[in-house]
Amino acid sequence: MRSSITSLCVLLALPLHVFAQPNPARPELRQGAYFSEPDGAKALQNCALAYTDRASWEKRAAQIRQGIREGLKLPEKPAFAALNPIRHSLRKMDGYTVENVAFESLPGFYVTGNLYKPAGISGKTAAVLCPHGHVANADARFVEQTQQRCITMAKMGAVVFVYDMLGYGDSKQCDHKLPEAAKLQTLNSIRALDFLTSLPDVDTNRVAVSGESGGGTQTFLLTALDSRVKVSVPVVMVSAHFFGGCICESGMPIHKRPTFETNNVEIAALAAPRPMIMISDGGDWTKNTPNVEFPHIQRIYGFYNAKNRVENVHLPNEKHDFGPSKRAAAYRFLALHLKLDLNKVLKDGHIDESPNVLLKPADLQVFNEAHPRPANAVMGDDAVMALLK
């Protein structure tokens, strides 16, 4: 690996270390641990040279946003289908309800998930959109850490929608590692936000997005592209040297463009000056966040006199997950910035998830024998890829 790094983030692209010679027949991608940790930190230091105040940062921010759109091949006005939500199997639980939901994103492609709502909503309340990360040998929407966060946030007073990654849960119309998975998942996130903000009990001025790992990537991409997101909570993902280990995150050229190059730290910083908390740990690629990524983003928030709106909770003895202490940090931040009632989930001053009742995957499934997948659903990678054209 080459050790020298030239100035990465000046407004015109300059030569940069790569692991292999570029292939002119395809776009260059940054996938996985693209840098060593020291080289990632150095590259981020060079980024800081490109902006010294709000005006220069906003020029850079506009360039990065446009690069994401172009790299993902996102049209200005996507040809979305009408939502026409399918909602069934409403369950009344202790302090909240949960139901199974699907709606169309592109014509013939269905976003699938679960809607959690506080019991007895009066007037409008906050909302949280929950993409999830990769889980081996399980459908991540149904696992304990996903159900726990949705239940607890609903008990605190938020309307919560958790939705499947491609190939997970009920989203079996194509493989997870679709060539343009990053594009489709971003379109699905936008459409999920459309669904959530269309609900009559949602206050559109109090909307957050929070996900872990690959869901953290979806969190900061959606926040970067959609101003309806008012609070951002990316968990165990924002890294200077790691760019996403799956094609659904870094399988399209959003980081390396013809005229400039960027990274996930700058993309996450596009949230500024909206409230954001970065939750990191010592067991993955976010282990340097307190000393590398967070100071860089905090400096950008400083351009808006908003350093108090960005936080980092670092758990050096933990690993890559959305476990109880990470969830607790997210709950407290969301309670503060979405005006939720943290007291509803506290016991002796601590967040208590022990009363939460987890449902079986079959209870949370959207499509089953009684509720089959709609007849217009396109099936197979080729058919789904055709929709993206």
The tens digit of pLDDT for each residue in 334-378 reads 999 999 999 999 999 999 999 999 999 999 999 999 999 999 999
CB 56 within 8 Å of CB 47: no
pTM, full prediction? 0.93
Q: What stretches of the chain show up as alpha helix (H) in DSSP?
A: 37-47, 54-72, 144-155, 181-198, 214-225, 247-250, 264-269, 293-302, 324-338, 361-364, 381-387
pLDDT in the model for residue 27: 53
Confidence class of residue 9 from pLDDT cuts 50, 70 and 90? Answer: low
| Cis peptide bond prior to 275, omega within 30° of 0 | no
pLDDT in tens, 192-226: 999 999 999 999 999 999 999 999 999 999 999 99
> What is the model's pLDDT at position 1?
35
- Kindly give, in sequence order, each residue whose CB lies less than 8 Å from that of residue 265, ignoring residues fewer than 6 positions away: 44, 47, 238, 239, 240, 293, 296, 297
Considering only residues 230 and 76, tell me which one the structure prediction assigns the higher pLDDT: 230
- Model confidence at 22: pLDDT above 60: no
Domain ranges for the chain? 86-363
Q: Using pLDDT thresholds of 50, 70 and 90, give the confidence band for residue 244.
A: very high
- Both structure tokens of 204: 């559109």
Q: Does residue 81 surpass a pLDDT of 60?
A: yes
Instruction: Let me know: does 232 contact 223? Beta carbons within 8 Å.
Output: yes
Tell which CATH architecture fits domain 86-363. 3-Layer(aba) Sandwich (3.40)
Cβ–Cβ contacts within 10 Å for residue 17, how many? 17
**In terms of DSSP bridges, do strands 110-118 and 159-163 run parallel, antiparallel, or are they unpaired?**
antiparallel
Q: What are phi and psi of 36, to 5 degrees?
A: -70, 165
- Going by DSSP bridges, is the β-strand pair 202-212/159-163 parallel, antiparallel, or unpaired? unpaired
Tell me the pLDDT tens digit for each residue of 250-302.
Answer: 999 999 999 899 999 999 999 999 999 999 999 999 999 999 999 999 999 99
The length of the chain is: 389
Task: Quickly state the pLDDT bin for 8 (edges 50, 70, 90).
Answer: very low
pLDDT in tens, 165-177: 999 999 999 999 9
